Structure 1
Amino acid sequence: MASDIPDIQIFGTVYKMSLQTDVNGAVLVAYTKDRETGRIGRTFIRFDLAGVDYIKRRLDAV
């Protein structure tokens, strides 16, 4: 079965990140630096409310 999710890989070391919340959930913003080219990148990952609840449960278990 083919998946409609693209296989995207981002390489780099996260040197800064933040978590911003709103009524729709949360957005993780990660800043990366590619070690070979020095190129800076920024990635946004949105978590819906179910995703936020899942992360909270996982953190509480630690």
Structure 2
Amino acid sequence: MNDVPDVEITGTVYKMTFQTDRDGAVLVAYTKDDGGRIGRSWIRLDLAAVDYMQRRLSER
């Protein structure tokens, strides 16, 4: 099984929010591509991903 999705989203994040809840966290990212088109993505992070991010941030 290939974990690489058929859809690829590219762009530069110019604004984002990070919200937590009992299921983990949601990252909402607003992006602008090379053509100036704006997109918005919701990315659900499970508790393992939140733990990983916290560990990585505490290393800095």
Aligned to 2:52: 54
Report matched runs for 1:37-48 at 5 Å. 38-48=36-46
Query: Residues 4 and 61 of structure 1: is their aligned pair in 2 closer, same or farther, counting only changes over 3 Å?
Result: closer
In structure 2, stretches of 5+ residues that fail to align are none
Runs of 4+ in structure 1 off by over 3 angstroms are none
Larger Rg: 1
Q: Considering only aligned residues, what root-mean-square deviation do their CA atoms show, in Å?
A: 1.4
Aligned to 1:3: 2
In structure 1, stretches of 5+ residues that fail to align are none
TM-score scaled by structure 1?
0.83
